[in-house]
Amino acid sequence: MNNKIKIAVFASGSGSNFQSIVDSGHSAYEVVLLVCDRPQAKAIDRAKKAGIDSFVFQPKQYPNKQVFEREIVQHLKEKQVGFIALAGYMRLIGPTLLTEYEGKIINIHPSLLPAFPGKDAVGQALAKQVKVTGVTVHFIDEGMDTGPIIAQEPIYVHNKDTKETLQQKIHQIEHQLYPEVIQDLCLTIGKETIKK
């Protein structure tokens, strides 16, 4: 019996986190769909190579967020997706998706939230000359990086760190942490499903 939770990963760019979620070898979930809002994103090639279907769309071709999110929901339902991991998806999630997947959407952010929400968190941390930054996994709500925190890991910033070196250290942590958190949450969802 296949009782893995089917998950979708949303990405807009390189998709290195998408890759680590796919490659992790964790057994409680299976990535069945990549949702991507940028047709040139490298994440799409990664999905192809991994044999995972993608739904790629261009937000500008829709009258508003509600309309494209309804289409996303259709694709998610077709694939029986029970859980969503945002991984470098550069958009706020709207009420259509939030209502449909309440408590089942998480995000990874490259700072110790609530410090440095929004874009370029690594650049923001360097500009403030913080000595410690890190990675946060959190639930999604209607705000910008504001939902309840699930896991965090700190990273020391050294004087010689550049945006590239710090980004590299952050990715290293992310690629380990994010699949672990997804695994744990999917195990919990699995148990709840059995109880019902």
List active site positions: 109
Site membership for ligand GRF, residue 124 (CB under 6 A): no
Structure tokens at 4: 């893995």
How many residues bind ligand GRF (CB under 6 A)? The answer is 13
Least gap, CB of 3 to ligand GRF (angstroms): 27
Only one of the segments 10-18, 26-34, 48-56, 152-160 lies at the binding site for ligand GRF (rule: CB under 6 A); that segment is 10-18
Site membership for ligand GRF, residue 13 (CB under 6 A): yes
* Residue 50 near residue 75, CB atoms below 8 Å: no
Only one of the segments 27-35, 46-54, 102-110, 124-132 lies at the binding site for ligand GRF (rule: CB under 6 A); that segment is 102-110
Site membership for ligand GRF, residue 69 (CB under 6 A): no
| Member of 7, 31, 76, 87 binding ligand GRF (CB under 6 A) | 87
Least gap, CB of 129 to ligand GRF (angstroms): 20
Only one of the segments 13-21, 45-53, 57-65, 68-76 lies at the binding site for ligand GRF (rule: CB under 6 A); that segment is 13-21
Site membership for ligand GRF, residue 106 (CB under 6 A): no
- Positions touching ligand GRF (CB under 6 A) are 11, 13-17, 87-88, 108-110, 170, 174
